[in-house]
Amino acid sequence: MKSYPRIITVLLLSALTVCAAACGGESSVTPTPTQNVSLTPTATSISTPTPTPEPEMLPPSVGYLPERWQLVSEIYYGQYVEAGEPKTGSLQYKNEDDTALVYIKYGDLPAWASGKESDPEGLLEEFLIQGCESCEKPDPYETGTMTFCGGPAAYASFSLPEQSAFAIIVVYANDSIMIEVNAVWWATDKENAVMAIIDSVSY
């Protein structure tokens, strides 16, 4: 099993924690046996099922998924809410040989990001601080801005030689939402696929 460096662990921790909560444990609902079964036909009324309400915030759309990639986890917006934290949702994609993954988190704009919507580099800097104030972080070998979801976003690229891995973080915000992308790949030929997925994200 591949080990994530600390920065990737911190950035993916919320997703892994939520997935564990979603996948663990058994349902507490037990079926109740039918009682007083009658073989005499009776008139029945047809009830219209109650439609499932749409989530308050839909996830970003991924317009392109390379061959042998798939969605492996989806947490709906507001499905799990931590006290004092903004409501979020997430999508996680990976390729079939587990040599690359792309994790997309979206949700309400956190308080610390307010006022930085038009300053993507400042947003990224604060995002890295908020991710883990006390742990050691590798220095990115490249930072800059890019177009993401039709607007300006900031990115940081990392080389992680001890894990034979590469990673990229992309952070985007507007007046009400924030989207972050954390991607890591262990084979250099997967970078194009990872970037193609990121470039295809829209909202």
Q: What is the mean pLDDT of residues 148-167?
A: 94
The dihedral through the CA atoms of 166, 60, 113, 116 has a sign that is: positive
Residue 28 per-residue DSSP state? -
Q: Which residue did the predictor score with more confidence, 157 or 161?
A: 157
Distance CA 105, CA 92 (A): 9
Contact 7, 130 (CB under 8 A): no
**38-54 pLDDT per residue, tens:** 334 444 445 555 555 55
Please tell me the pTM assigned to this model: 0.74
Which of 9-23, 90-104, 162-176 shows the lowest mean pLDDT across its residues? 9-23
- What is the band of 20 on the pLDDT scale with cuts at 50, 70, 90? very low
Enumerate the domain spans of the chain. 6-18+54-202
How much of the chain, in percent, has pLDDT values that exceed 70? 70
Low-confidence winner among 23-37, 85-99, 108-122, 181-195 (lowest mean pLDDT): 23-37
Q: What is the DSSP letter of 135?
A: S
Counting DSSP H helices and E strands in the chain, the numbers are: 3, 9
Question: How many Cβ atoms from other residues are within 10 Å of residue 86's Cβ?
Answer: 15
pLDDT for 1: 40
CA distance 20 to 16: 6
Per residue in 113-152, pLDDT (tens digit) is: 999 999 999 999 999 888 765 566 788 999 999 999 999 9
State the pLDDT at residue 83: 87
User: Does residue 66 register a pLDDT over 60?
Assistant: yes
What is the DSSP-derived secondary structure letter of residue 187?
Answer: S
**Of 165, 140, 166, nearest in space to 155 by CA:** 140
6-18+54-202 CATH = 3.40.1000.10
pLDDT of 47: 53
**For range 21-38, the mean pLDDT:** 36
Q: Which of the four pLDDT bands, split at 50, 70 and 90, describes residue 82?
A: confident
Residue 112 has pLDDT above 50, yes or no: yes
Q: Alpha helix (H) ranges present in the chain?
A: 6-23, 120-131, 191-199
Mean pLDDT of 2-15: 40
